[in-house]
Structure 1
Amino acid sequence: MTDRLVIFDTTLRDGEQSPGASMTREEKVRIARQLERMRVDVIEAGFAAASNGDFEAVRAVAEAVQDSTVCSLARANENDIRRAGEAITPAKSGRIHTFIATSPIHMEKKLRMAPDQVVEQAVRAIGWARAYTDDVEFSAEDAGRSEVDFLCRVFERVIAAGAKTINVPDTVGYNTPEQFAELIRSLIARVPNADKVVWSVHCHNDLGLAVANSLAAVMAGARQVECTVNGLGERAGNASMEEVVMAVRTRGDLFPVHTRIDTTQIVPASKLVSQITGYPVQPNKAIVGANAFAHESGIHQDGVLKHRETYEIMRAEDVGWTANRLTLGKLSGRNAFRARLQEIGIGIESEEQLNAAFARFKELADKKQEIFDEDLHALMSDETVTPEDEHFKLVASRVHSETGEAPQAALTLNIAGKEHRTESTGSGPVDASFRAIEKVAQSDAQLLLYSVNAITTGTDAQGEVTVRLAKGSRVVNGQGADTDIIVASAKAYLNALNKLHTNTLRVDPQGETP
């Protein structure tokens, strides 16, 4: 007999704190549906009090998800908790996750509160949250650098107040596995009524130990792990969900726990999150990297051919790696298109959206003979852009590049409903296109990142471009896909400009969360 390990996914909240990774409401819903398909236990949909946009996104996820618990983060103050409670109201199963810092440095330098005040505020927060749901989680921010005696005191009081899950975050990634396991073991042994709650951990990866610390905590008695798809998150990221899940599954002889995760949905989730956030997955990333199941060495290849388990401890298909599946072509009809979108987890909300998406699909089919699932994901990512968000739009592009001559780009843009023609030269066709755009956009944004990935194989593959722009304190990612890489680049740049142009400013909770 093994215990159930609760998988708490915070891709939509902590993952969103990666610079430029903020997601729209529609993008959060798409990822949430994939997480639900993967049978994640708890989906932390956002920080409802951060902004009206975050509130609406949490509420939209709560309305869309049926099988997973939907959670909102809240600081230990009444306003945050009220907003979180209102946001999760539509959820079939809702949770409020409230937190307050408990380390000496955080209490003194950030909160400017005495320890007694922190304890009382934590208890009040549980009371406010229980007015909305019985499923209340409490986190002691920076628990990894907190005094154990004080943690015991805080946890005893919040358990008595009604908290059902106690989360012990290694907020700054400071702990080592042996040290962190001893902390968890000590807390479970010393805190009264410890057996009445689920003990949870939330580890950051500053020293590259987030997964190791999380698994050490599981061996010490933790029964919930907070993690993200692809290890996304602020600074060096969070514990990687796919690594935690597959470690527990692969080493069932060692870990006394099991999860309910459908592991075949891991790779699709990884690709979707990477595409939406613009954060590519490194090829040698465990489980979901392109090389995770590749064998270059002749000795390894020979061994795998003779018997797979000589060099593979997991099956690629068990985590969702399959050959690119040919799905549709230029002769495919509307019903086949709609059915395939539903099969890969993309919902169509209206006939108008379906018509627009189908028209784009036909355009792509004329350029590209074979269309795969990855192409559909890229195509539909463009469809999630609402007209009110599309201040800048590419109408036409003409680029000339010749050896020995300066590349030239001539673009027609629609800006706020009015067409503008612009042209420029540059060091290359992409540079010329960006300079042409800036002539009329005049954003004064700084280009931080430009990256290109092929969505599928073949010379007719769509190129997916990510552009990261910074202006003032704002950092945004823009994505664009097209069989013409120059067009994809222009789309990505304009997509980033549209995000900078929106007036909805998200309160940045970095440094304020577990």
Structure 2
Amino acid sequence: MPKYTRFPKVDLPDRRWPDNEIIAPPIWCSVDLRDGNQALANPMGVAQKLRYFQLLVDLGFKEIEVGFPAASEIEFEFVRTLIDRQLIPDDVSIQVLTQAREHLIKRTFESFRGARNVILHLYNSTSTLQRKITFDMSREEIKGIAVRGAQIVRDQIATVPETTVRLQYSPESFSDTELDFAKEVCDAVAEVWQPTVQNPVIFNLPATVEWATPNVHADQIEWMSRNLNNREAIILSVHTHNDRGTGVAATELALMAGAQRVEGTLFGNGERTGNLDIVTVALNMFSQGIDPGLDFSDIPSVRAQYEDLTGMEVHPRHPYGGDLVFTAFSGSHQDAIKKGMDRRADIQDPTAAWEVPYLLIDPRDIGRTYEAIIRINSQSGKGGVAYVMSREFGFDLPKTMHPEFGRMVNQATDRLGREATKQEIFDIFKQSYLELTVPLELIRLRSLTDEMGDHTITCTVKVAYDGQIIEITGRGNGPIDAFVHAMSERGWNGFSIIDFKEQAVGSGAGTEAAAYVQIQARDGGRFWGVGVDTDISIAGLKGVVSAYNRSRLA
């Protein structure tokens, strides 16, 4: 017999969920302060929990599981602190967890006395493994625990007349409980609690362990949704874990299968591989045009608070929140992103459809920026380098210049053995184009005149050639043409200008001009040069010098 066996399929030949769509957000319930907290190497204290609770309220959660108050004094004290300090908004329900044991249930009711809105979350394990290994009990015995717990809860409600108590039951380890038995237990609990459409019960069906593929979980949820008694008086909730790495997918398919409520944590913190990541599910909905009802417009702040309070770190590749999720190293990706971003910049309507290759959403919508979208290493391409030069430093390199400068940066990152910072990229640009003074250096433009009155320009400049300072003069149909003729008369020729572009860099009184000059040498080699100056004519001459020097150094 094999050590591992395939998880059985659900007999649901007429399953409907594959044709359904998620069109509205579910009810969200954060379990960060219980499931998330118990999974920390160093659980949060009361002060940290209070800050975390406020974070969850600020994000828009209306249901927050605040703990297992009968499990420890810290848990009990935290619940009391929230109530005694009146820190719970009127529209927020706190959720308290308890096993189906009499003394734990009574202690739980003591913990929330005086609260306005409470969800009492009762649970007991129902799976075959739990019955066989943990409890050594029959199905009837396990159902009896649930029913007896439900009866105690029902009777205790009278002890807190000032509190609106909503009831929730979880057949723990639902994911490997026989469906007919999960239904039997839930129906038995409902028989005790007598839910109505106006006062529904929450049946939370946890994938305590993720045993199967997400489609099997969806089948389980649809089967329960279609077979539970008095379905209209039930809010069906899911609580997935991530043992197989598909907790998000399982939740999304469960919503298609009839789930109305989702329990999870920020960034998926929880036991083993974690709970469901609510951030990802909510922003996945956002990316499809659905308002999730939670405010993740400042993900960097949420992440910073989460990391500070839990001691956990969000992985660099974590969806939406990771450092690198809006970053591209691949050259082809960078080029496509640059084109999309440039096109977006020309669109004045901020509500226009988002169309940028490789970016699922606009980073600005969740408080991220464009600054780190493209980072440069040896795998990067010309588009990414050009993007950095344009967005960070204002140099719109001509497209035919992209490959030349891209190669320079790639070679530099190969030598570095790491990615290049934006400043390092600009330093390469300056060293390669703006600071070349060998063999030719432009010292000063002496004069630029139209002496003949026929638009023929006479250009006189002071230069240094191989360290020797001289003055040269030439005539042509413009400053650059005249300067090239002056160089030719000195024998510094052997090239022709094949492309020229100029642009303004910056704005206001200090605006500089950048001139991009491409030359072709006699041997066919092509070289770009760049000149920058407040005077566009001088910038052009500097561009010629830059290109000439690059051709001589090749």
Q: TM-score range by the shorter chain?
A: 0.5 to 0.7
Aligned length: 322
SS at match of 2:301: helix
User: Does structure 2 conserve the Cα–Cα contact (< 8 Å) formed by 1:48 and 1:73?
Assistant: yes
Displaced runs of 4+ in structure 1, greater than 6 A? none
User: 2:335 aligns to what?
Assistant: 302
User: 1:189 aligns to what?
Assistant: 226
User: 1:268 aligns to what?
Assistant: 301
Among 281, 285, 293, which residue is 2:314 paired with?
281
Q: Is 1:154 matched with 2:185?
A: yes
Shift of residue 116, structure 1, vs aligned partner: 1.7
Among 60, 71, 76, which residue is 1:50 paired with?
71
In 1: Cα distance, 2:79 partner to 2:299 partner: 23
Query: Of the two structures, which has the highest relative contact order with CA contacts closer than 8 Å and spacing of 6 or more?
Result: 1
In 2: Cα distance, 1:151 partner to 1:181 partner: 15
In 1: Cα distance, 2:152 partner to 2:298 partner: 36
In 1: Cα distance, 2:110 partner to 2:301 partner: 31
User: Does structure 2 conserve the Cα–Cα contact (< 8 Å) formed by 1:201 and 1:214?
Assistant: yes
User: 2:102 aligns to what?
Assistant: 78
SS at match of 2:109: helix
User: 1:65 aligns to what?
Assistant: 88
Shift of residue 150, structure 1, vs aligned partner: 0.5
- In structure 2, relative to structure 1, the CA distance for the partners of 1:115 and 1:286 (3 Å cut) is same
In 2: Cα distance, 1:268 partner to 1:144 partner: 35
Shift of residue 281, structure 1, vs aligned partner: 1.1
Unmatched runs of 5 consecutive residues or more in structure 2: 1-21, 196-200, 342-355, 372-422, 424-554
Normalised by the size of structure 1, how large is the TM-score?
0.59
Q: Is 1:16 matched with 2:37?
A: yes
- In structure 2, relative to structure 1, the CA distance for the partners of 1:34 and 1:19 (3 Å cut) is closer
CA RMSD of aligned residues (A): 2.4
Which structure's CA Rg is the greater one?
Answer: 2
SS at match of 1:91: coil
SS at match of 2:121: strand
Q: Is 1:235 matched with 2:256?
A: no
- In structure 2, relative to structure 1, the CA distance for the partners of 1:53 and 1:175 (3 Å cut) is same
User: 1:401 aligns to what?
Assistant: none
User: 1:416 aligns to what?
Assistant: none
User: 1:94 aligns to what?
Assistant: 118
Q: Deviations over 1:86-110 (max 9, x none)?
A: 2233433211111001112212322
In 1: Cα distance, 2:297 partner to 2:291 partner: 16
In 1: Cα distance, 2:82 partner to 2:292 partner: 22
In 1: Cα distance, 2:286 partner to 2:236 partner: 20
- Residue type at the aligned position of 2:44: M
- Residue type at the aligned position of 1:182: D
Among 144, 166, 185, which residue is 2:175 paired with?
144
Shift of residue 236, structure 1, vs aligned partner: 0.8
- The within-5 A match list for 1:363-382 is none
User: 2:416 aligns to what?
Assistant: none
- In structure 2, relative to structure 1, the CA distance for the partners of 1:120 and 1:320 (3 Å cut) is farther
Normalised by the size of structure 2, how large is the TM-score?
0.55
Q: Is 1:33 matched with 2:24?
A: no
- In structure 2, relative to structure 1, the CA distance for the partners of 1:174 and 1:83 (3 Å cut) is same
User: Does structure 2 conserve the Cα–Cα contact (< 8 Å) formed by 1:13 and 1:47?
Assistant: yes
- In structure 2, relative to structure 1, the CA distance for the partners of 1:266 and 1:224 (3 Å cut) is farther
Shift of residue 59, structure 1, vs aligned partner: 2.6
In 2: Cα distance, 1:35 partner to 1:304 partner: 34
Among 81, 99, 116, which residue is 2:140 paired with?
116
Q: Deviations over 1:149-208 (max 9, x none)?
A: 111111112223226100111111213111000000001111111221111111111111
- In structure 2, relative to structure 1, the CA distance for the partners of 1:60 and 1:114 (3 Å cut) is same
In 2: Cα distance, 1:113 partner to 1:211 partner: 33
- In structure 2, relative to structure 1, the CA distance for the partners of 1:321 and 1:179 (3 Å cut) is same
In 2: Cα distance, 1:60 partner to 1:320 partner: 32
In 1: Cα distance, 2:59 partner to 2:244 partner: 29
In 2: Cα distance, 1:265 partner to 1:118 partner: 45
Q: Is 1:319 matched with 2:340?
A: no
User: Does structure 1 conserve the Cα–Cα contact (< 8 Å) formed by 2:298 and 2:368?
Assistant: no
In 1: Cα distance, 2:291 partner to 2:187 partner: 28
- Residue type at the aligned position of 1:225: V
Q: Is 1:208 matched with 2:245?
A: yes
User: Does structure 1 conserve the Cα–Cα contact (< 8 Å) formed by 2:29 and 2:65?
Assistant: yes
- In structure 2, relative to structure 1, the CA distance for the partners of 1:3 and 1:158 (3 Å cut) is farther
Shift of residue 313, structure 1, vs aligned partner: 1.4
- Residue type at the aligned position of 2:181: F
User: Does structure 1 conserve the Cα–Cα contact (< 8 Å) formed by 2:283 and 2:292?
Assistant: no
- In structure 2, relative to structure 1, the CA distance for the partners of 1:178 and 1:119 (3 Å cut) is same
User: Does structure 1 conserve the Cα–Cα contact (< 8 Å) formed by 2:297 and 2:366?
Assistant: yes
Shift of residue 258, structure 1, vs aligned partner: 5.5
Q: Is 1:247 matched with 2:284?
A: yes
Unmatched runs of 5 consecutive residues or more in structure 1: 325-457, 459-514
Taking only the aligned residue pairs, the percentage that are identical comes to: 30
